[in-house]
Amino acid sequence: MSQQQSNSTDNTHLNQGKPYKFYGTGTTNPWKIKFLFDELGIDYVYEDIDIFNEHSDKRKEFIKLFPNGKVPAIIDYTVNPPLKIFESGAILIYLAQKHGNGKFIPDLNTDPHSYADVLQWLAWQISGLGPMNGQYTYFSCFAPEAVPIAEERYLKETDRLYTVLDKQLEGKEWIAANQYSIVDMAVYSWAVYIREGFLPNYQKYKNVLAWLDRMNQRPAVAKHLPTILEPLKEEIEHLTHAGTYRIKFD
């Protein structure tokens, strides 16, 4: 049997009749995939993975499937054998190209310029904004001891990246290719936190804030906002009580 013939076999009966299994948790990167699944109207079986509990049986089984041991990850049961993918950027591209019909990522063959624009800004988020914002959040909120040089370094780079984003959004509704895309979902999963107490002086990113308001109005995003935002006040109170919350606002 050829590979093409093999891939036509549907294995959803192995996954409660649903096309995808989605492994995630309540951290930033899995939100990207939740947004896209909802935008596409695709159902899935969700399994929460405690990535910090290295000794749980569930995590051990997860690592057998996905050697990097991080979420998000998915299994596509519509092909044979079922297809496993990890890393949020790879999942976004795969799902958007397979199901979006050019809606969330432009078609490479018919619109290569827009396709490249989406890819480069997605890479920018994955390699720059996410890691730098994440490191700043760790050193300013979670590190058991203050490391001023690290806080300053990551704040400076995070500020630079949000300044780049703010300039990119000037006069634009969406980040890349003049359309709502997987880039907006990817960036939002980090940027949603900036005015919730996790980045000082965020008010200067006026275009970013206007874009956040537009994102919040999308049904696929709005349905998850309470789950994203409601725990944050309690989290900041907990971090402040623990003495690790060190973000200072002018």
Residue 9 has a pLDDT of: 67
Same domain? 116 vs 92: no
Average pLDDT, the chain: 94
| Domain residue limits at 215 | 112-242
Q: Is 128 exposed, middle or buried (0-12, 13-18, 19+ CB in 10 A)?
A: middle
**Least confident among 52-56, 160-164, 195-199:** 52-56
Residue 16 inside a domain? The answer is: yes
Residue 6 has pLDDT above 80, yes or no: no
Q: How confident is the model at residue 250 (pLDDT cuts 50, 70, 90)?
A: low
57 or 18: which leads in pLDDT: 18
Domain boundary among 72, 99, 126: 99
Domain boundary among 68, 99, 130: 99
CA 216 to chain CA centroid, nearest Å: 15
**Least confident among 15-29, 51-65, 140-154:** 51-65
Q: How confident is the model at residue 226 (pLDDT cuts 50, 70, 90)?
A: very high
11 or 32: which leads in pLDDT: 32
Pairing of strands 20-24, 44-48: parallel
Residue 106 inside a domain? The answer is: no
Same domain? 37 vs 150: no
* Half-sphere exposure at residue 247, Cβ-oriented, CA atoms within 13 angstroms: 22
Domain boundary among 70, 99, 128: 99
Same domain? 148 vs 77: no
